[in-house]
Amino acid sequence: MTQGAGDGQPGAGGAPVPIPPGPSGPSGEEPHRIRNGVIAAAVIGALGAVTAALIGFFKPDPTPTSGPQPPPTAEPSSTRSRSDESSSDSTTSGDPTASKRPSTSAKERWRGPVTLPLSLNVPSQEGIELDTAKPVRAGVDDDLRGDYQTSPKIVVLSGHAAEIPGDADGLTRSACEKRLTSSVPKGPVWIDALRGNGMGGTYCFNTTEGRVAAFSIVSADPMPLPQSITLKVVLWG
Going by pLDDT thresholds of 50, 70 and 90, the confidence category of residue 1 is: very low
- The answer on pLDDT for 201 being more than 90 is yes
Rg (CA), the chain: 54
Asked whether the predicted pLDDT for residue 133 surpasses 70, the reply is: yes
Q: What is the mean pLDDT of the chain?
A: 74
CA dihedral of residues 58, 64, 69, 72 (deg, nearest 10) = 70
| pLDDT given at position 151 | 87
What single letter denotes the amino acid at residue 45? G
First to last CA, the chain: 144
Query: Is residue 2 over pLDDT 50?
Result: no
The count of C-alpha atoms lying within 13 angstroms of the C-alpha of 30, restricted to the half-sphere facing its C-beta, is: 7
Nearest in space to 157 (alpha carbons), one of 134, 133, 179, 124: 124
Dihedrals phi, psi of 109, to nearest 5 degrees: -95, -40
Give the side-chain half-sphere CA count within 13 A for 39.
6
Distance between CA atoms of 64 and 60, rounded to whole angstroms? 10
- Are 161 and 214 in contact by the 8 Å Cβ rule? The answer is no
Judge whether residue 61 has pLDDT over 70.
Answer: no
Write out pLDDT tens, residues 161-181.
999 999 999 999 999 999 998
| For residue 224, cis peptide bond before it (omega within 30 degrees of 0) | yes
pLDDT digits 0-9 by tens, 16-47: 555 555 554 444 555 555 566 656 666 676 66
Q: For residues 141-157, give the mean pLDDT.
A: 93
pLDDT (0 to 100) of residue 51: 62
This model's pTM is above 0.75: no
Stretch 129-153: mean pLDDT = 93
pLDDT tens column, 78-104: 334 444 443 344 333 344 333 344 455
- Got the DSSP string for 52-83? HHHHHHHSPPSSPP-SPPPPPPPPPHHHHHHH
